[in-house]
Amino acid sequence: AQSVSQHNHHVILSEAASLELGCNYSYGGTVNLFWYVQYPGQHLQLLLKYFSGDPLVKGIKGFEAEFIKSKFSFNLRKPSVQWSDTAEYFCAVRPNNAGNMLTFGGGTRLMVKP
């Protein structure tokens, strides 16, 4: 079965620090990749997605992610975080043989101190 690992469960940063959240998956074939964000008390919203093409994907709110196929990774980055980025971040993978089903990672809780 496919799995998605987010190794950092909790991250605490100060404002203006750089962010990198790890995401690794276990599937050898073609995948679609997603990062979702869940602000406190809210629903999941899409930050960015990778389907094909340029492996460096730009998303909303200054986030980006890089797909490295050889490492089965899709890490999320932001050069300078803000207090408003405090949220839980979920990586999700959709293998091309899984229909429309996503496999989500366990999430990373980010706290940004003002």
Partner 1 sequence: DAGVIQSPRHEVTEMGQEVTLRCKPISGHNSLFWYRQTMMRGLELLIYFNNNVPIDDSGMPEDRFSAKMPNASFSTLKIQPSEPRDSAVYFCASSSNLGTGGGSYNEQFFGPGTRLTVL
Query: Which C-beta is closer to partner 1: that of 72 or that of 104?
Result: 104
Q: How many residues does the chain have?
A: 114
Write the DSSP symbol of residue 58: E
94 is a contact residue toward partner 1 (CB under 8 A): yes
* Sole residue written with tokens 């460096």: 56
In whole angstroms, what is the distance from residue 55 CA to residue 58 CA? 10
Compose the 2-41 pattern: x for residues touching partner 1 by CB under 8 A, - for all others: ------------------------------x-x-x-----
Whether the Cβ atoms of residue 59 and residue 48 lie closer than 8 Å to each other: yes
In whole angstroms, what is the distance from residue 33 CA to residue 60 CA? 15
Applying CB under 8 A, among 40, 54, 100, 114 the residue interacting with partner 1 is 100
Binding part of the chain for partner 1, among 53-61, 66-74, 78-86, 95-103 by CB under 8 A, reads 95-103
Q: How many CB atoms lie within 10 A of CB 53?
A: 8
Applying CB under 8 A, among 15, 16, 20, 46 the residue interacting with partner 1 is 46
Identity of the amino acid at 89: Y
104 is a contact residue toward partner 1 (CB under 8 A): yes
| Binding interface with partner 1 (CB under 8 A) | 32, 34, 36, 42-46, 49, 90, 94, 96, 99-102, 104, 106-107
